[in-house]
Structures are given as C-alpha cells and as structure tokens.
Structure 1
Amino acid sequence: MSKRKVSVALLVAAAFLAGVFFVTSVFNLAGWSGLFQGADAQAVLPESEAIAVASDLGVAFSTVAEHVNPAVVQVRTTRTMADNGQGLSLPDMFGGSPFGRGGPRGGEQSGIGSGAFVSADGYIVTNNHVVEGADLLEVLLFDGRVLDAEVVGTDPFSDLAVLRVEGSDYPYVPFGDSDELRVGQWVLAFGSPLSEELSNTVTSGIVSSLGRFGGAPDPRGRQTISNYIQTDAAVNPGNSGGPLVNLRGEIVGINSAIATRTGTFNGISFAIPSDIVRSTVEQLIDTGTVERGYLGISFQAATPALREAYDLGPGAARVGDISPDATGRTPAADAGIRPDDIITAVDGVELRDSAQIVSLISNKRPGDTVEVTYYRDGKRREAEITLGRRPGDDAVSQNGRGRSEQRPMSGSREPASLEAYGLTLRDLTPQQARQLGGDAAGVLVADVERASYAYREAEIRQGQLIVEANREPVASVADFRQAVADVEPGGSFLVRVRVADGRGNSAEYLTALTKEG
C-alpha cells in the first residue's frame, strides 16, 4: 500500500471517530430521553382552559360517583308464575319488564331493578313496578352483601315504593330540589341496567327537558304521574328505581321509564322529580299510604279554537264535571268553580299542558289551600280552594273528548251545507236520537271539511252532535242558523258538542267556531 493510500485511510478513520465522539457528547449532554422529547410533545395537546374545564368535570363525575355508589342497591325480585298457557310477564310502563328472566310458563320468574338508601336506618326508594307482584325481595349492596327486604309501602300513582332492610348506619343519598333543575344541567344516573352483573353502573347526561306531561296509564290502566324529568343519560331496563343525581350528589329524580322503539335505551329517559319522591316517601314511611289533595273536577284540554277565542295559553284546561270528595264535599264547587270554566294556572304556575293539573294538585295534601286562576265568559277570575280527600286512586280525572271520527248514522232528513263553517249539518231523526241515548237533542254533524277551521282548530268530527251554539240551545239546523245569524264574518262563538259511543254513554265538550268570510 502506498503512502498516499495510507494517508487517505487515516483521514477517513479520524473523521468517523470524530463523528462518534460528537454524537456521544450530544447524548451525554441531552440524554436519550431528550432526543425523543420533541416527538412526544407534538403528540400531547397543549394545556388550555377548555381542556382544564373538561378535566375538572371528569373529576366531578368521579367524585359524585364515589359519594353516591355506596348508597345504590340492586333490587332482586322473584314471583311465582301461574301456568296460564300464555307466558305473559308484567310489562314495564314504557317497555322493558323488571321480570325479565325465568321460564315462560309456570315456576318462578326473577327480575332486577335498582334503588337507593334515603336514610341511615335502612329505608330504600325504588319504583312500584319493580316490586309489584314480587313474592321475594333481596337487595345487593355496594359492598357485596345480599339482604332480605320488606315492602314498607307502595304508591302506583307515582310509581314509587319504599323498602326496608334490617340494620343501621347505611350510607344514603339526600334529596335535592327538583324545582331548581334547568334544561342543559348535568346529571348522573345510577343503577343495574340489563343484568345483575352490571350493578352500580353510572351514566352521565343532561336534563333535556322538564315537565314532560301526558304520562300514559300503567299496565293495569291506572293513572300515573305525568310530570317527568327528561334526560339523555343512558337508562335501560334494570335501571328502574335508581337515583338521578345532580353534581352535588343529591337525588333530583328516580329513574322510571324510557321512550324506546327497541326495548332498550334510544336516547330519552324519564325520572320522577324529587319533590314528588320526597313527599311520597315520607308518607309511606310514616303511614304506609299516601294521601293526596283532591280538587274535585274532571277536565280536558281546551281546544285550539277555544284557546284562540279567549287568547289563552297551550295548557288551558276546560272543567268538565264537578265531583265530590271522600267526605261528600265538592272542593272546586265550594270555591265557585263551574263546568266550562277554563283553568290556566295553579298557585301562580301557568299550565304548559292541561295534564299538569294532575301533578300540581296531587303533590298537595288534603286540607292544603291552592289558588286557581280560571276564565269564565272571557273574564279572568281567581279562587282559593281548600283541597279535599280523594275518593279513589286518582287525585283528579281526565276525561277524553272522544274526538275519534264516528261512523255516520243513517237518516232521511236532508243535510244542510254551511260553507262558512266548513260543516254539513242534519236534523236528528227519532232513530238517531235513540242511538245517541234516547234523550238526545241537537243537530248532527254529517260532514266536516278537513281543511276547515271546524276540523283543524275546533276539532269537530263527523257523527258528533252540536247541542249549543253561541250560548243558545239548538235542536235543529234552523235553530243553529238563528243562533249564529248575528255573527259577523271573522267573528267567533262558542259551541257545545256532544260525543256518544252508541251504547248510551256520552260526554260533552266546549269549543269555538269562526265564521269565515
């Protein structure tokens, strides 16, 4: 090898060693972790106020869960099933039975629900539909103990029940004020969805609506509470009876139902407000029963036409009949309320839905006084009513108007078309009068134009009977024409309509018509 080649090789070797020395020095100065720190820093989001708030919310959820979970129980039910050949189980109010497992015919059937301790001495609140019909009750505690439970009292109207287990010093959850809830507020739902293995599941959501009225009767046809808290916290069969809590760890509702087309959670769930729960639980613990105030009326939603005639809100309720209470008193009549009065508020609370009356009155007790705002002949009035004692299971009753279209009755009298009202009217024949109850008097609605005010707003239907127009009784088409002869185009007047079922039963409701130009 020549001297020139040796020199080049030495230079290459020296350069290589210098490079190694430089890299080694860098690692020694910065450390191995320092070289990769830049890559890691790009993968982690920079701290921001929004992320900090979200992190704090997660910590809040965890804190509430740690506080509430020890007081939440799983309710296990067993009942003996008769062999009826049908294999039917008790349905939940909105789908999803608490008795979800077991043989379809005969033998025993078991189910699960949820509940929560509301006192240190062993009282537990749950749903009535969770325990109704159960022969055996057990509760699984958060610490793994399984205890026998007894029913202290049940209240089908509110769908609530109180259980008790022996012992003391149980962790419990206090009641909050459901009246303070606002749409958009965070809430957590606790319970045992779908199976025993999923006990003490916690889901979060917001209050998506308040005062959901118009609750359906329960599976046995009994009227139930109709003032729900609506949330989007995931609730499934098995969650029934579990608490809905705010971020202070207080019970603001008891999960009771879901709106579903599949039998499982579809994004909407309902809870009984804590103000109703607290009142019901206190009475069940004290006496084993619940007493509710009684107004002594039947009512129905005022028709859109009637509301328009008096310029009233969407929750206006027309008084139907006046009914005595358990002692024979008529609380509403004693205060001056009459049929056809239109109630718009109770204790200053404007009705958003006529069914709201049920909750507002039923949450009171006999002897309590309420202020009712109502309208008569277009004039606003107020009445102080001392509530009575309800005679049966329902605090007040709701009478449907029977607005489904009836089959037209045959008759020989010629119909009269009143185009200004979108109605075709016909005088009653004796045969039709007998079909309507024997003593029927009025003018028969032979047809209604579907695009008319009478159909859309007044909700008048074919086969119904108009018995009064513009405050005048009508027994014929001629009577009707005479009663409304002075009504100017665009003017409105009251109409009383009778609805019959063809079996001698009938009901009346008040609405309004407008004369079109």
Structure 2
Amino acid sequence: MKNELKKLLPYAMVGVISGATVFGGIKFSERNNANTQDYSYFTKANDTKFAGMNMSGLGEDFTKAAKMTVPAVVTIKNYSNRSAGRSSEQDIFEYFFGQPGRQRQQQKPDNMPSGMGSGVIISPDGYIISNNHVVAGASKLEVVLNNRKSYIATLVGTDPNTDISLLKIEEKGLPYLNFANSDLVEVGQWVLAVGNPLGLNSTATAGIISAKGRGIGILGSKGEATNPIESFLQTDAAINMGNSGGALVNTNGDLIGINSAIASPTGYYSGYGFAVPSNLARKIVEDIKKFGLVQRGFLGVGTLDLSDDQQVALYNREFKTNLKPGNGMYIREVTANSGSEDAGLRKGDIITKIDSTPITDFADLSLAIGSKRPGDAVNVTFLRNGAEKTVRVVLKDQKGGISARTRADLTVSEKIGGEFQPLSENFKTRYGLNSGVLARNVIDGGELSKIGIVDNYIIMEINGKPVNSQKDVEKILNGFNGNVQIKYVDEYGRIYTQGFRMPN
C-alpha cells in the first residue's frame, strides 16, 4: 500500500499545483455543438510505422516526456500588415470565448509580431506543424527554437478545415517528435501539454484526456473553413493563449495531438482544452508535403445528427417527420455521382459505423471520413427500415474524382477562390460599364475574399485587361505567376483596385 501511495504522490502534487494556478476561475458549462497508405513521419525504428503508445501512465513521472518534448516545441511569431495589433491567436479565442474589456490596439511597431503561437518540429530537417490560425495573415513567420536560435520560416501549406499548418525552416539535425496513433488514446490517460503560453517560453502542463471526439463549433464559426472537421481530444492540462500549435504528448513523449483551443468565459484556462488528434494532423501535413494541398475524400451525403435533440426537433417541424433522437447520422440527401449514390445509399438510411468505428454523432463521421483520401474505400454500416446493412463506398473529391490532385491541377477559380458570371449587355449599358463579370461562390479565406470581394461584386479588370467572362479570367491568370491586380465595384458603386500574389 505504501509503495502504491509513493507512486501516486507525484501525480497528486501535479494536481495540487495545477489547481492552484486556476483557483478563482469562473466555472464553465461545456457547450457541445453540434484503407490509406501509411506515410507516417520519422519514427526511429521505421518511418512508415506509428510510434508506440504507452497507456499505463501511473507509476511514472513526466520527466521523460518533458525532456523529449520541450526541445522540439518552438515559438512562432506572426508578422502581418494588419494595422490592428491583434494576433490571429487572440482573435480566434475572443471570437469563440469572448474577452470583455480588452481594447484593440490601433498601431503596432513594424518590428513587433502581430501574434505568437507554438509549433512542433516533426522532422530533423525542419518541418514544423502548427495551427492555421497561428500563421493566418502573416507576411513573415519567425520560428524561435528552445535554444533561442531564430529562423525565417516558409509556409508550406495550410488547411483551415482542420486548423493545421505546415512550415519549414532550413536546418538539419533538429530534435523532433514522433506521431503516435491517436485512435489508441483513452479517456483518463495522462498527457503533457507543451507550448509557449502568455509569452512564457517552454511551458509544460500535465493533465488527463477528458473526452474524445469533441465537436465545439469553432472552425466553422470563423468562415474560412468550408468543410470543417472537428473531433478534438479534450484535456484538462492547462492550455492558454500562445499554446496553440503546441504539443499534446503521452508519457513516452510521442505526439498525440496539436493543441488548438480552450473553452473559457474569460479567454484563459478554465479546465477545457482541445487538440487536433495526431492521426488527422499527420494526414493533413503528409498531404500538404506530398501533393501541395489536402486530399479530401467525401462520402457524398447530407446528414442530420440524431444525437442532437434540437436539430432533430427542428427537422421534424420543418419536414413534418417523426424522427427519434439517438445515435447515428440520418441521411437527408445523397449527392449525384457520389460514392454513396454508386453504393446504393438512400435518403432515410441511418449511418451507424464506418469500417470498425461506431458513428454516434457528426464529430465521429467527420473524423472517420475526413482522414481519408479520394479513391479510398470504406465500409458503411447503416440501418434501413430497422435492418442493418453494410456497403462498400469509394470516396470521391468534390468534383467526382478518385485520383490525387496537385496544385498544378487546380483551376484558376480554385486557386483564387471564386467563379465569374458574365454581365448582360443591358446591365452594362444601364450602368455605363464597358466590361465586367459578377463574382460568384466567393470562398471565405480565398484570395478574392482577402481583398474584400464578395458575391455579386463586379470585377471590371484584371491586370489592366477587361474581363467579360469566366474564360477571360482563366486566360489572363492561367499559368500566371506574379502579382494580380483587380479592379472591382462594390454594392455602393465604389471602385477599388486591390491585389494579391497569384498562388502557385
């Protein structure tokens, strides 16, 4: 008995110390909104295998995990051209959780970063994983290692749908972390969060996994994510602003998650932290590194989350149905030419399992499918008129393809985030226009959106040339590699000229 108490004593001390740091915090009621080739990175035994998991936790302290993790976690400084001195890190926390009483700074010295976050080195040659919101809007990204060495980083790519980004610095022989299999993580498992919160470099906090598959509605709320995937690991390890992009590790020091958000009425730690699972984060950075963009497979169904009582009630009222709340995803519609249509899924089927993974809510479904690529096949188990059936579905991309695409395969519209509709001659005559196209399907976070263009704005010229059709835009920008200048008219008739660098 005495030996067991001795083993547990370090954890009791951690709990006391962690509790003291948040004593006096406001209590928060949690809001719960509603077959791939293995390319894993840099495990020492074999870089196509997952790192091992240690689930025991008890009987060990966090010394080993901290010694491995702290040197591999970096500070990321985001320098942007924004006049307001607010970081994207701060913005996303305020937007979701609120920070009353904070005042927006009006000016920022040019040599001061707009915001700071964390990142994790995942290869000895300088690849670093972080959050999308840590690097958003940056004109320059500076990475500071634990040994205080500083580097200017290249942004390799981002994915707003998972809040993941991949950076690269030019260095060799760096300390790095192995990815662990987050599917094996268990609720109650001891974990360590390492990052740079509140300007405090190399900070480690301890806690447990509080929940898995948590959806909190934060990614879609900012507008940049078009098909958000939220299935966070929840932890009570203390996470604050600046921890975003940092490491969540097991007691072996293997990476099980990328810390992304907290739930708090004050904007500071109140016991609820959320991390992108390592399996999903790993897939995203592999796609970015290999293809230049994320390869996303889609099931091709519109669904209703039966675990959400309010959604079910609203659906019943609107469509005069009598669905019962429970577990699973009710299929509201099947997309034409999708894998689901090919496999024979129908409206009214209830998805209960993808491969061996039970599907109880949207978070389960988004992770199970979001971690797959076009061309991957999944076994979908569903209920139809009370009978259980299973079909094999080949996932497709949003254009119906089953092959990987690179950035070179993207159309001009996909690269700049919008489509274009010709103006009628009568419209041009009425408003005195010699040329113009209407902006349509403008994507939040795309290049057009970033310079202020939204749906129904009129684009008159691109790079000084008049445009009257989608083909005109494609002709001017297809293969173009340089600064794009766009002259457009807003809803009040005001004319602007704005520009951006054409994405490769």
Question: Normalising TM by the smaller chain, what interval?
Answer: 0.5 to 0.7
Contact 2:377 2:394 in 1 (8 A): yes
2:383 is aligned to: 375
Write the deviation string for residues 34-92 of structure 1: whole angstroms up to 9, x where unpaired: xxxxxxxxxxxx974412453597963122211211111011111111579xx997434
Cα drift, residue 343 of structure 1: 1.3
Cα drift, residue 381 of structure 1: 1.7
1:319 is aligned to: 331
Query: What CA RMSD, in Å, does the superposition of the two structures yield over aligned residues?
Result: 3.2
Residue among 98, 114, 127 paired with 2:131: 127
Please say which structure displays the higher CA radius of gyration: 1
Residue among 86, 111, 114 paired with 1:110: 114
Contact 1:125 1:281 in 2 (8 A): yes
Contact 1:187 1:233 in 2 (8 A): yes
Cα drift, residue 225 of structure 1: 2.0
Cα drift, residue 378 of structure 1: 2.3
- Structural mapping, 1:456-471, within 5 Å: none
Aligned CA distance change for structure 1 residues 115 and 375 (closer, same or farther; 3 Å) = same
Higher mean displacement: 177-186 or 374-383: 374-383
Aligned CA distance change for structure 1 residues 48 and 380 (closer, same or farther; 3 Å) = closer
Residue among 254, 270, 274 paired with 2:274: 270
Write the deviation string for residues 5-40 of structure 1: whole angstroms up to 9, x where unpaired: xxxxxxxxxxxxxxxxxxxxxxxxxxxxxxxxxxxx
1:78 is aligned to: 79
**Residue identity in the other structure for 1:354:** F
Cα drift, residue 366 of structure 1: 0.7
Look up the SS of the partner of 1:190 in the other structure: strand
Write the deviation string for residues 117-143 of structure 1: whole angstroms up to 9, x where unpaired: 000000000000000111111011011
Question: Unaligned regions of 5+ residues in structure 2, if any?
Answer: 12-57, 316-320, 401-504
2:444 is aligned to: none
Residue among 305, 309, 331 paired with 2:339: 331
Residue among 200, 204, 211 paired with 2:206: 204
Look up the SS of the partner of 1:172 in the other structure: coil
Cα drift, residue 207 of structure 1: 0.5
**Residue identity in the other structure for 1:256:** S
Cα drift, residue 362 of structure 1: 1.0
Identity of aligned pairs, percent? 38
Contact 1:80 1:106 in 2 (8 A): no
Aligned CA distance change for structure 1 residues 188 and 151 (closer, same or farther; 3 Å) = same
1:352 is aligned to: 360
Distance in 2 between residues matched to 1:179 and 1:171, nearest whole Å? 25
Contact 2:7 2:59 in 1 (8 A): no
Look up the SS of the partner of 1:260 in the other structure: coil
**Residue identity in the other structure for 1:374:** F
Look up the SS of the partner of 2:198 in the other structure: coil
1:365 is aligned to: 373
Distance in 2 between residues matched to 1:286 and 1:242, nearest whole Å? 23
Aligned CA distance change for structure 1 residues 89 and 180 (closer, same or farther; 3 Å) = closer
Distance in 2 between residues matched to 1:149 and 1:263, nearest whole Å? 28
Distance in 2 between residues matched to 1:75 and 1:132, nearest whole Å? 12
Aligned CA distance change for structure 1 residues 102 and 214 (closer, same or farther; 3 Å) = closer
Higher mean displacement: 116-125 or 176-185: 176-185
Aligned CA distance change for structure 1 residues 89 and 248 (closer, same or farther; 3 Å) = closer
Distance in 2 between residues matched to 1:168 and 1:235, nearest whole Å? 30
Cα drift, residue 372 of structure 1: 0.8
1:32 is aligned to: none
Contact 2:214 2:232 in 1 (8 A): yes
Larger RCO, structures 1/2 (Cα 8 Å, 6+ apart): 2
2:264 is aligned to: 260
Contact 1:218 1:224 in 2 (8 A): no
Aligned CA distance change for structure 1 residues 101 and 122 (closer, same or farther; 3 Å) = farther
Cα drift, residue 284 of structure 1: 1.2
2:9 is aligned to: 54
**Residue identity in the other structure for 1:348:** S
Aligned CA distance change for structure 1 residues 102 and 146 (closer, same or farther; 3 Å) = farther
1:239 is aligned to: 243
Distance in 2 between residues matched to 1:336 and 1:137, nearest whole Å? 48
Write the deviation string for residues 152-194 of structure 1: whole angstroms up to 9, x where unpaired: 1101111000000011110100011111111111000000101
Contact 2:89 2:242 in 1 (8 A): no
**Residue identity in the other structure for 2:215:** F
Aligned CA distance change for structure 1 residues 384 and 49 (closer, same or farther; 3 Å) = closer
Cα drift, residue 295 of structure 1: 0.8
Distance in 2 between residues matched to 1:388 and 1:160, nearest whole Å? 22
Contact 1:210 1:228 in 2 (8 A): yes
- Structural mapping, 1:411-490, within 5 Å: none
Question: Unaligned regions of 5+ residues in structure 1, if any?
Answer: 1-45, 393-517
1:171 lines up with 2:175 in the alignment? yes
Distance in 2 between residues matched to 1:90 and 1:55, nearest whole Å? 37
Aligned CA distance change for structure 1 residues 103 and 313 (closer, same or farther; 3 Å) = closer
1:31 is aligned to: none
Write the deviation string for residues 338-385 of structure 1: whole angstroms up to 9, x where unpaired: 112221111132212134211111111111111111122222221110
Distance in 1 between residues matched to 2:132 and 2:272, nearest whole Å? 21
1:285 lines up with 2:293 in the alignment? no
Q: Give TM-score, length-normalised by structure 2.
A: 0.61
Cα drift, residue 110 of structure 1: 1.4
Aligned CA distance change for structure 1 residues 47 and 54 (closer, same or farther; 3 Å) = same
Cα drift, residue 312 of structure 1: 8.4
Distance in 2 between residues matched to 1:103 and 1:58, nearest whole Å? 48
State how many pairs are aligned.
Answer: 337
**Residue identity in the other structure for 2:222:** P
Higher mean displacement: 106-115 or 276-285: 106-115
Distance in 2 between residues matched to 1:383 and 1:251, nearest whole Å? 34
Distance in 1 between residues matched to 2:175 and 2:4, nearest whole Å? 36
Contact 1:213 1:227 in 2 (8 A): yes
1:341 lines up with 2:366 in the alignment? no
Distance in 2 between residues matched to 1:312 and 1:381, nearest whole Å? 20
